[in-house]
Each structure stands twice: as C-alpha cells, then as structure tokens.
Structure 1
Amino acid sequence: MPLLAGCSGVEVINALTPAGQTQAFDSIAYGELPRQRLDIYRPQGADGHAPVVVFLYGGTWREGERQDYRFVGRALASRGIVTVVADYRLYPEVRYPDFVEDSARVLAWSHRHIDQYGGDPHRLFVMGHSAGAYNAAMVALDPRWLAAQSLSPDILAGWIGLAGPYDFLPITNEDARPVFDWPHTSSDTQPINHVSDRSPPALLMASHRDTTVNPIRNTAGMARALRAHGVAVTEDYADRTSHVTLIASLAWPLRWLGPVLDDIDTFVHDTPPRTNTGADNAQ
C-alpha cells in the first residue's frame, strides 16, 4: 500500500520531520541495476559504535521509493542510529524471490561497508514495514538468502517487523497473487516456516486496527513461533494506528499516534551486539 495513499502526504511528513543533527548520503549503489540503490542517514559524530538499521518499505512488492521514507531515516538517526533506506526491484519487473535477494544484497553491503559511515556492523538490524517486513523476515529467518552473499543471519543483532505478512497462504490479496505465482505458491515462501532456534531476536509491531494484514495471524503468530523456539521477541500493538500510519507515526507530526519510534529505539539500543558475525568469504 502506498504511504498515506499519495505523494502529497509523504512530502508533508518528510518536510515536517527535521533533519536536525543528522547527515544524509544519497543514491549509493549496492548492485549494478537501477533500483539497487540506498540512502544513508547518520547522526553527526557517529564514531563507528552506533547501531545500524536497514529499512525496507512496503507497497505490496509493486511500488515504493526510498526518497518517500526520508522521515524514517531522519527519525532513527536522531536517536543515534545509522539508518540505511533501500530500494529493491518490484513487480512486474521481477517476482519472488528477486526482491528478497535484493534485500540480502543490501544487508551484505551494509555489513561490509557501514563502518565507513560511523555504524557498527556487529549491531546490525533489518527492519521493514508491510511487504518490507516480509523481506526483512525472510533474510533474517531463512539462511539461504544471505548464504548467496557468503554470509548468514548471524550477522544480525535482531530484526524488526512492522505490520508484516509472515503467514498468508492462501493468498487473498489480488495484487500479491502474481508476485508469488499464485496458485502455485510454495509454503517455502512463508517466513513463519523458517523460524529456528538460531533466529535473531525480534521486535514485532502491529495495529489492532489493521485491516490490510491480519495482526493476529501474522504478528501474534510469528511471535508465538519465535517463542516456541526460545527466541527473544518483543510484541507491541499501537492501538491508535492503522496499517499505514504505523510506519507514518515515525514522522514528527504523527508521533502522538503511538510510541513506535520509542519502542524501536529501546529495542535497538538494548539488544546486545551479535558475537557471531556469520561467514564472510568475499574477497
């Protein structure tokens, strides 16, 4: 779903979310293709010890632009977090699993290069909203995607899902069906089927008012699955938000909707660094 259902709303919340004491680095390539680009937002004075969040936006894997989410980068950077906001390829240019592969490439690039921007690669998190939360969950839970980058999910200190679809078969969303080749969609596409004892800690957030992605089946269900494997998980619901305003509440004018930014801040800063940084055989 497009953020706030129109560019004018995005422009307003971006304009009203101050950059403050942050710096931005725009249009950095993490791959060779046009949509394989990312922006970095960092707190001024970041010295290599700052935690890092890689953010992946939603849009039913059909739409979205990283520039629409400047407010996310600025909000997190204002809390001392180096933030990567990335584009990835979309339908109909690609179908599953290409956007998951792009997400793994973003994480691999961040793991290997974010120290140049003041971030600590041992304090690396992946975060997504809606379809982006699906991407985040897949790279955090299913080792094959980072394995293609000579890495593993052990590089992650944790992952953050906002209103994510983690268990959505049979596919009822008409826009999502061709993305996943419905009705031939394999259960292997579902993040909930990749939870294991080695999964990184998670912060899962949703709204009880969400009519787009069922929070009981998806957020609560994922939380149960993680806990059943002994994985630390924080589960929060922001009752005044909708599916879209859950992420929009990071913008300065909408923070009254709920403590979403505060909860992310607390999770990121309170989660210990990952001690096992995963295989990295790249030269």
Structure 2
Amino acid sequence: MAGIHPSALIDPKAELDSSVAVGPYAVIGPHVKIGAGTTVGPHVVIDGHTTIGRDNQFFQFSSIGAAPQDKKYAGEPTRLEIGDRNTIREFCTFNIGTAQDAGVTRIGSDNWIMAYVHIAHDCQLGDQIILANNATLAGHVQLDDWVFLGGFTTIHQFCHIGAHAMTAFTAAVSQDVPPFVTAAGNRAAPVGINAEGLKRRGFSSTQIAAIRRAYKLLYKSGLSLEEAKSALEKEQASAVESSAHIGLLRSFLDGATRGIIR
C-alpha cells in the first residue's frame, strides 16, 4: 500500500482497500474496514467495529468509532457505519452505538461535516447533510436527507430533524424539527421555511409556495396540531405538484415522538 505513511499504526486485522491513503501517525484498529479511495489524514484515530465506504476524506485529528459517552456502555461490539464520499473535517468525534438502541451509529453518503462536530452514539444520518463547525448531536438523534445545521447548533437526544430543515447559528433544539422548517434560538423555534435551500435543490416556485402554505397552516393559522394535520390533508389533495412534499410533512408529524418545535 504505497499510500500508507510509515509512521501510521494499522492493526494487521484491519481491512483496507489497496487504494486507501493513510497519513502520518494515524491509528487504525483491528475491527475497521475502509473502502476504496478513502483518505485518512494525519493523527486520525479510527477504532471500534467501524465500516467506512468509498472516497471519504478524513482530515487531521478526528476520533472515529470510539466508545460511546454513555455510562451504560459495557464494551458490547456495537458499530459505526459510514457511507461514501463524505468529507469529515478536523477534530470530529463519531461514536459507535449502544446495546440499548439499534447498536449502530450510521452516517450516509455525500455529507459535508465541518470541524469539531460531535455525532454521539446511535445517531442516524441520511445523505447530503451539512453540519457546520461545532454542531453537536446527542445520542439517538436522527437527521434526514439535506439537513443543514448552523454552527454551534446543539440537538437534544432522541430528536428528529426532517428533510431539508435548517437550523441557525447556536440553535438549541430540544424537540423535533419538521421537514423544510428553519429553526432558530434557544430554545429553538420555527422562523420560516428553508426557501433558499429548496431553490438550490431545484424546487419550483409552485412547490415552494405550497410548502410555505403548509408551514402557515402548521404555525400561523392558530390551529391546534390535530387541526393543522387535518388542514394539511386537504392541502395535500389540492396541491398536485407538491403532494409528495406535504405528504412527507404529514408523515413526519404523525411520527414525532418528542413533539415538534412550536
């Protein structure tokens, strides 16, 4: 493996594709599997039962696959799974799962994860997510596709952040954030929809207008949550081009376990 620096410490049992590059003083444990084209920067530590896909880039000083920060953890062989084409910047910490949950922390593909991000045990992340510097996820947090978390955002354990949602700088999130919604403040409250993000992803003006109407039904109409759900059902039936998007919002509301930000 020509891309392995001689100072790197790689356990003989680790499974690395021949195209993997490993920088100086990196440490890779015995239960680690790394796919083709992935680059591991200087001083990165990858441990635990960790599986990493193709073409990821780990910048220096990250800790990947360490034991969870959970007093109940007793050394069970829980896992961390990372997909393809993720960028992980400096000083990130990703922990393996716990036996009290699914036993695995999952990070999807094509995510952009900036410096000092912490992803705790049993978190489930989708694809195309951006986590700005110092975003912190407590245990059991779920982030759906295309979520954007602003710098220093903190997410309480067991919270669910819906697809295309966004948080502002320093948001403190203690309840679920529905799809398309922008949250800000401590405690985080809804401040509109992520319209700019939707435009960048190719949503039409008609679709964005329908999502904005749905947001107003949920947050600006004075309706109770159950009344808003009924109104959204009618809106979905009439908004043909955005039916799937409103359906996504309705499904999220039905499954919210911590209550939504209001």
Which interval holds the TM-score relative to the shorter structure? under 0.3
Q: Give the structure, 1 or 2, with the largest relative contact order (CA under 8 Å, sep 6 or more).
A: 1
Higher strand share: 2
Give the TM-score taking structure 1 as reference length. 0.26
Higher helix share: 1
Determine which structure has more spread, i.e. the larger CA radius of gyration.
2
